[in-house]
Amino acid sequence: MNTIADQFRLDGKVALVTGASQGLGQAMAIALAEAGADLVAADLGDSHETRDRIRKTGRGCEAVQADVAAPGAPQLLVDTAMRAFGGLHILVNNAGIIRRAPFLEFAQKDWDDVMNINIRAVFLLSQAAARVMVADGRGKIINIASMLSFQGGIRVPSYTASKSAVMGLTRLLACELGPQGINTNAIAPGYMATDNTKPLREDPERNRAILERIPMGRWGTPEDLRGIVVFLASPASDYINGYTIAVDGGWLAR
């Protein structure tokens, strides 16, 4: 019989992580490799640093520079996994952007750009990956949601709308794909020290207000997502389906 530690292993699995060149995506990709998975690391930027760090763990990694919102990109990424490793068992939809402006001044382009990457690409990539997973009879889809999947926020209308949609799509995929052996869940990171939150951290008043509400008293880091992504990708979470799990230092508990 396998031990509980064995239930967290990903040996023989292939994972595709978008937005993998830095920050949350890079940390999650490396964590999956350390647990035993081979990786396709995709990003609009250069993911070669991620690829090199993963290969040092002894796992395989293909770095793909691609815009996940571009026509044909979802199928390209799935095809890369199939060609390089012969399968695809785990998808982490991490790529995302944010634009900030007051609602009354928010530009249509900023709305469209964010929605295209944060939810349209998630839908299309999940669809392409699920076709492979359904044929295989198993799979894990992990979406990256947000605190703003639960709350309204300010000055980020397209981000709030897209991340609320991510949580809804996660539930739909769980209902439709669960009977075919595929688990779909989401991670909602709290306030993380990444490029997306740099303007907030550099604003003394906003920084102080955010920290005062987080019971743990600190900003999160990419490393704080390592455990949850491995858990959701592994057999240890086989009966969890359709949930958005906050990793927020207690933010939502206040």
Provide Rg for the chain, Cα atoms.
17
Q: Are strands 90-93 and 139-144 parallel, antiparallel or unpaired?
A: parallel
Angle between helices 157-177 and 121-136 (to 10 degrees): 20
- In the 8-state DSSP scheme, what is residue 222? G
DSSP bridge partners of 64: 42
Catalytic pick among 159, 191, 239, 243: 159
Active site residue 159: yes
**CB neighbours of residue 68 within 10 Å:** 25
CA 46 to chain centre: 18
Find where tokens 């198993």 sit.
138
3-state secondary structure of 59: coil
> Catalytic amino acids?
159
